[in-house]
Amino acid sequence: MLKASPEYVQSRDDHVFLLRNFGAEAFEAPYHFHPEFELTYIVSGVGKRYVGTHMERFDPGDLVLIAPNVPHCWKLDEPVGELFDAEAVVIQFPADMLGSTLSGKEELADIHNLLAQTTVGVCFGKEISMQVGGMLRGLAAKKGIYGFIGLLDILQQLAEDHTGTTLSDDGAMAVSTLVDHQRMGPVLAYLVEHFRDKVSLSEAASLAHMTPQAFCKYFKKVTRKTFMDMVMDYRINYATQQLVQTDKPVSDIAFESGFTDVSFFHRTFKRRTTLSPLRYRRQFGS
């Protein structure tokens, strides 16, 4: 079973930031978290992006800034043929990169505000994403202070952009302490991996090292939702994407999303979206 685990990023004593270019192996990374900010640009590949409890489709040109200690991972859709065509550029930098002195200066106020307001994640519009994606790919050639200046330039461009969409976590980031992250991480990872299957409250509780009764109270306290509400959020989110992006029959989508009864799927879907699955497809499908 996949569990959210801490990722240890290169020592700050060596470099201000860490820039890496990945192939398909990046999309096999476990659901993980780390105390650094992360900016990820998808060069190629299509699939689902999980940030906290937020799930959304990603495709080439996707650019997301993720806050420290927010669990995240990218999962590719089924490959075309035998090989994955996937590539990502990832840059990670410490939350205190600017320090207490620089962060209060007018010249860096925009960047400071961008980072301060990113509590979960931000997904940027296509135009700025393509621009910053090129800058990220060129950053590898810059050494020393020029690399740091390049990073500041990228963050300034993002700070001045107004197309970013906040990745709402619906209160889940009331998980504010490292202890809470370590406790909730395996649970969220379990949901990411199994929401389309039969999920078990007792198994989720055991991952948090709690009794089912105590877990239910704890889960609702930090997410403001019940455990099963969260399961349904994932399932309905997945179903809406399948309705819009495929021409599969509604019954097939219901079963693939984790529902065992098509009638219950219809009722749940309409209650949460105010539309029937077919009407949703007609209204939002391409």
Q: What is the pLDDT of residues 213-247, one digit of tens each?
A: 999 999 988 888 899 998 998 899 889 888 988 88
Res 210: pLDDT: 93
pLDDT in tens, 158-178: 999 988 898 865 544 445 566
25-52 mean pLDDT = 87
Res 7: pLDDT: 52
What is the Cα 250 distance to its own chain's centre?
27
Q: So where are the chain's domains?
A: 5-166, 195-284
10-14 mean pLDDT = 51
Sequence-distant (6+) residues with CB within 8 A of 65 are: 37, 38, 39, 114, 118, 121, 122, 124, 158, 164
Print the SS3 string covering the chain.
CCCCEECCCCCCCCCCCEEEEECHHHHHCCCEECCEEEEEEEEECCEEEEECCEEEEECCCCEEEECCCCCEEEEECCCCCCCCCCEEEEEEEECCCCHHHHCCCHHHHHHHHHHHHCCCEEECCHHHHHHHHHHHHHHCCCCCHHHHHHHHHHHHHHHHCCCCEECCCCCHHHCCCHHHHHHHHHHHHHHHHHCCCCCCHHHHHHHCCCCHHHHHHHHHHHHCCCHHHHHHHHHHHHHHHHHHHCCCCHHHHHHHCCCCCHHHHHHHHHHHHCCCHHHHHHHHCC
Res 154: pLDDT: 95
Which class does domain 195-284 fall in?
mainly alpha
pLDDT in tens, 118-132: 988 999 999 999 999
Same CATH fold, 195-284 and 5-166? Answer: no
Res 176: pLDDT: 55
134-140 mean pLDDT = 90
Q: Are strands 32-33 and 63-66 parallel, antiparallel or unpaired?
A: unpaired
Model confidence band, residue 75 (pLDDT cutoffs 50, 70, 90): confident
What whole-number distance in Å separates Cα of residue 120 and Cα of residue 230? 17
Position 251 pLDDT exceeds 90: yes
pTM of this structure: 0.74
105-134 mean pLDDT = 90
Q: Pick the residue with more confidence: 41 or 82?
A: 41
CATH architecture under which domain 5-166 falls: Sandwich (2.60)
Res 10: pLDDT: 45
